[in-house]
Amino acid sequence: MVVRYLLGTFEAAVQPSFLLMTSMWYRRAEQGEYVSYWYAMNGLQQMVGGLLSYGVSHIKNSNIKSWQVLFMMLGLATVLWGVFIWLYLPDSPMRAKCFKAEDKTLMVERVRANQTGIQNKSFKREQALEAFKDIQVWFYVLMQILNTLPTSGIGAFGNLIIKDGFGFDTLQTSLLSLVQGTVHILIVTSVAWAARKTKQTLLVMMIICVPMVATTSVLMAVPNGRSTRVGLLIAFYGTFWFNGVAVLLLSLITRNIAGQTKKSVVLTMSLIAWAAGNMVGPQVFQTKDAPRYRVGFTVHLAFYIAQIIVFFVLRVILVRRNKLKIEAAKAKGRADGEVNLDNAFDDMTDMENPEFRYQY
């Protein structure tokens, strides 16, 4: 138990670090797709992890258990990769030794229009307080809980649903992890592309909730049998659109929260919400509901519908904020759409900076 606690403690820094680096290195228009690239590696992990799990399950040794072999393999790879990252990954564009001084200047200038700054290690109390007062932030927290609860539930019970609920054997279930990983990668990259192409992130998030509602309804209504198990499996994969919601939610946080202290606080709040969803998610799948877990899927269905409503309301809020900022700029004699970049690197929050425009 202590080791699992330590594992969770060290893992807690991973996602916030990835998001901070993404916001420092890439333009806001690019961040959704770049977040999807590293988030898609969860799908690759499913593919490789499924094969490794199946492989080590054949180890028969009285001195060491198969799961211990798996943890040692992954632990060694993680340690070696951590050493490489420590030595070679720069923590900001300005400290990247692999680029010339003029290249660093160009890299910094290309993200000026983000209006989110790059790096500031000073803790600003007023920014932290703003994070707790900003209604936008609490929407992100709520969205994280609403989406993570179904994600964690299916993550914990997915293989049991496929094996016991749909009637596949252990080998087939392990091999189907390749399909799950592929579906994950295709979904997160395609929704990020669609959001960038349409410039309508929250609208895309609302749209992809529709197949989640439809496929969950199928899982609840269609009886199980050899003639229906393939269709049920396809419907099960259809619920994986929640991964698309997850990646777009993370990209909204990197794009719409400015000020280094505020962003750090918001990322922490988001991670806490993510952890809360992960704790509660598996609890809606009870043994007494096996093998179809209709109660769990009913909860998921309610959460998917709630997400659509939350996405719509947040979009209204962000549109309204942009409208007020544009009207204030016009009152000062500025042309429609004109944005001043003088405050871009002043470590101002999105609410403090009159030139900041929210993306939705």
Q: How does pLDDT run across 137-189, given as a tens digit for each residue?
A: 999 999 999 999 988 878 777 777 787 777 787 777 777 888 889 999 999 99
Length of the chain: 360
Structure-block tokens of residue 210: 């529709």
Closest to 343 (Cα-Cα) out of 335, 351, 354, 332 = 354
Q: What is the three-class DSSP state of 163?
A: helix
What is the amino acid identity at position 304?
Y
Q: How confident is the model at residue 58 (pLDDT cuts 50, 70, 90)?
A: confident
Determine the average pLDDT of the residues in 81-102: 85
| Per-domain boundaries in the chain | 2-112+126-331
Closest to 185 (Cα-Cα) out of 80, 40, 39 = 40
Q: How far apart are CA 64 and CA 66, in angstroms?
A: 7
Instruction: Give the Cβ contact number of residue 138 at 10 Å.
Output: 15
Which is higher by pLDDT, 291 or 29? 29
Measured between alpha carbons, how far is residue 158 from residues 3, 132, 152, 267, 325 in Å? Answer: 25, 35, 9, 28, 46
- Statement: residue 337 has pLDDT above 80: no
Q: How far apart are CA 61 and CA 217, in angstroms?
A: 45
Determine the average pLDDT of the residues in 35-58: 86
Query: Can you tell me which residue has the tokens 């969205």?
Result: 143
CATH class for the region spanning 2-112+126-331: mainly alpha
What is the longest distance spanned by two Cα atoms in the chain? Answer: 79
Contact 181, 46 (CB under 8 A): yes
In tens, the pLDDT along 223-279 reads 877 778 888 888 889 999 999 999 999 999 999 999 989 999 999 999 999 989 988
